[in-house]
Amino acid sequence: MDSDQMHPLAMSGKDPSMLRGDPIPKERYFSKEFMDLEWEHLWKKIWHIAGREQQLEEPGDFIVHDFMRESVIIAKQNDGSLKGFYNSCGHRAARLVWDNSSLDSFFCPYHGWKWGLDGVLEDCPDRDDYPQGDPVGKLTLKEVRVDTWAGLVWYTMDAEAPELEEYLEPTVELYKNHQFEKTVRVNWWRTALDGNWKFWSDNFNESYHTRTVHPQVPPIIDQDHFTSRYEMFPMGHNRIIQMGRPSLRDRLPDGDSHPFDDLLRTWDIDPDSYPDFETKALQGWLDLKKAKKSLWKEKGYLHYENLNDEELTESPFQVIFPNIAIAPGADSFLVWRWEPHPTDPEKCFFDQWTMAYPVEGMEEFVNRTAINTLELSEAELDLREYDDGRGISEYSDQVVAQDMQLIAGQTLGWRSQGYPEPYMAAQETRVRRFHEVLNDYINGEPPGRK
Ligand code: FES
Ligand SMILES: [Fe+2]
């Protein structure tokens, strides 16, 4: 695909000469000092995802998002708006709530101060015992800024951060044809892992590893770097658009059942009508677009209504700097989020949220790169310890479970005296870009600030 389809704000994500070429010192993967710099200059500045809007339906519903040693509450107000607060009592700092729930007010377990949903102190014992003045109606919990996009609830601790839409630029515009708010979270999975959080930023910023680590993917999503489009945006976000057809370099042995055949059949196309594999991959892919455009309504794929040719079949994958990835496909919206451990630079947490669109008559969902079906209904949080893979055995069919197997080895490798610096291919340019934007934050010069 040629570059004239690139977004006007995008730099080519295949061209390392667009970048400064900063060194990527390996200490950033295990140094406590670098972890402290990240807290100060990165995590306090960015927009975080707290959860999904569906978790905040009624006034009083709230999400607690713990991030390193910080914790925030995002609460639905009586007027339907959202407000966010630090989860620390204004009396003497006790943590107010520990988990997502629904309450009329926040009652501090220490001395019984009662904070309203709007963060204003509603009541406290012995109100007349304050020589400096009655705190009721006067003191408020300290706020964080809250906004929403894609059915997701976001917040930032930084009063100076750009507005969410500007921070995400041009993400909101890129996916305006999708209806993310209508999706159902069919899988809500969080795993604690041994390894620095940037493992995931690096891993998700290249597809060079896919053939080795995820051999099941190329037959269904073309992994060839020369047929894919790579974009790097000014705010630090990177994306790749891969074609939703088999890679011609990853032909399965003749006679093997092919997952692309099943996809064609779903859309009433006979996979045996093509003379050879190449024609099926290339012409079948075009026929698939046509079939989806003419049959979406009658087959109940109402969320296809505004999707264009590219969006109907291709596989976009975007890293939202620094710790979120999204895959906004035609049939699903996957969100991954990875977060540092509060104190140990060699531990992290990893979340996968699989969101699927409801299709009439469909009760199960299976992601195109996975095997196991998932019930098409809202899932509960499933917390896991990785434990050398034993803790996530039910998820072993998921692509990211294959990535998880690599963290332990790379974590040791980063500490080895034998490893000096990465030596990267052009198709790993987005990895380099990630580190340069990280350096900008650490140096107090994040993009998009005056
Ligand atoms: S710390 Fe909350 S009431 Fe005292
Ligand atoms: Fe991977």
| Sign of the torsion angle spanned by Cα atoms 178, 180, 184, 190 | positive
The dihedrals phi and psi of 151, each to the nearest 5 degrees, come to 75, 10
| Sign of the torsion angle spanned by Cα atoms 320, 199, 99, 382 | positive
Which tens digit of pLDDT belongs to each residue from 294-348?
999 999 999 999 999 999 999 999 999 999 999 999 999 999 999 999 999 999 9
Q: Which among 275, 309, 279, 316 is positioned nearest to 294, based on CA atoms?
A: 309
Ligand 1 in contact with 94 (CB < 6 A)?
yes
Which tens digit of pLDDT belongs to each residue from 92-118?
999 999 999 999 999 999 999 999 999
E strands, 195-243, where? 229-232, 238-242
Q: Domain residue spans in the chain?
A: 3-42+178-244+314-442, 47-156
What pLDDT is recorded for position 154? 98
Which tens digit of pLDDT belongs to each residue from 422-434?
999 999 999 999 9
What is the percent of the chain with per-residue pLDDT over 90, rounded to a whole number? 92
What pLDDT is recorded for position 2? 40
- The ligand with the least distance to the CA atom of 350 is 2
Reported confidence tier of residue 254, pLDDT bands at 50, 70, 90:
confident
Q: Is the distance from CB of 138 to CB of 127 less than 8 angstroms?
A: no
**Ligand 2 centroid to 105 CA: how many Å?**
43
- The ligand with the least distance to the CA atom of 115 is 1
Average pLDDT over every residue of 196-217: 96
**Ligand 1 centroid to 93 CA: how many Å?**
6
- The ligand with the least distance to the CA atom of 109 is 1
Residue nearest (by alpha carbon) to ligand 1 atom 4: 111
Which tens digit of pLDDT belongs to each residue from 152-177?
999 999 999 999 999 999 999 999 99
Does the structure show a pLDDT above 80 at 450?
A: no
Domain 47-156: CATH superfamily, name plus number: Rieske [2Fe-2S] iron-sulphur domain (2.102.10.10)
Ligand 1 in contact with 113 (CB < 6 A)?
yes
What pLDDT is recorded for position 331? 92
Ligand 1 in contact with 249 (CB < 6 A)?
no
- Ligand 1 atom showing the smallest separation from residue 111 Cα: 3
The three-class DSSP label of residue 141 is coil
**Ligand 2 centroid to 350 CA: how many Å?**
13
Does the structure show a pLDDT above 90 at 196?
A: yes
Q: 282-286: which pairs have CB atoms within 8 A and are 24 or more residues apart? A: 282/245, 282/248, 284/245, 284/260, 285/243, 285/244, 285/245, 285/313
Reported confidence tier of residue 366, pLDDT bands at 50, 70, 90:
confident
- Mutate-to-test residue for ligand 1 from 73, 86, 91, highest number of ligand atoms within 8 A of CB: 91
Average pLDDT over every residue of 117-122: 98
- Mutate-to-test residue for ligand 1 from 85, 86, 108, 123, highest number of ligand atoms within 8 A of CB: 108
Residue nearest (by alpha carbon) to ligand 1 atom 1: 92
- Ligand 1 atom showing the smallest separation from residue 89 Cα: 2
Does the structure show a pLDDT above 50 at 352?
A: yes
What pLDDT is recorded for position 135? 98
Cα 16 to its chain centre, rounded Å, is 25
Task: Name the more confident of 113 and 5.
Answer: 113
DSSP letters spanning 38-103 = HIIIIITTSEEEEEEGGG--STTEEEEEEETTEEEEEEE-TTS-EEEEESS-TTT------S-EE-
Reported confidence tier of residue 367, pLDDT bands at 50, 70, 90:
confident
Q: Is the distance from CB of 299 to CB of 184 less than 8 angstroms?
A: no
Helix axes 259-266, 277-295, angle to 10 degrees: 30
Residue nearest (by alpha carbon) to ligand 1 atom 3: 111
**Ligand 1 centroid to 67 CA: how many Å?**
22
Distance CA 441, CA 436 (A): 9
Which tens digit of pLDDT belongs to each residue from 124-142?
999 999 999 999 999 999 9
**Ligand 2 centroid to 412 CA: how many Å?**
19
Which tens digit of pLDDT belongs to each residue from 37-84?
999 999 999 999 999 999 999 999 999 999 999 999 999 999 999 999
The three-class DSSP label of residue 216 is coil
Does the structure show a pLDDT above 80 at 4?
A: no
What pLDDT is recorded for position 104? 97
Residue with structure tokens 């996968």? 352
Ligand 1 in contact with 91 (CB < 6 A)?
yes
Ligand 1 in contact with 92 (CB < 6 A)?
yes
Q: How many CB atoms lie within 10 A of CB 310?
A: 17
Ligand 1 in contact with 106 (CB < 6 A)?
no
| Sign of the torsion angle spanned by Cα atoms 224, 226, 228, 232 | positive
Which tens digit of pLDDT belongs to each residue from 370-381?
888 899 999 999
Ligand 1 in contact with 109 (CB < 6 A)?
no
- Ligand 1 atom showing the smallest separation from residue 112 Cα: 3
What pLDDT is recorded for position 1? 39
Domain 3-42+178-244+314-442 listed as CATH 3.40.50.720: no
What pLDDT is recorded for position 251? 84
- Ligand 1 atom showing the smallest separation from residue 108 Cα: 2
What is the percent of the chain with per-residue pLDDT over 70, rounded to a whole number? 99
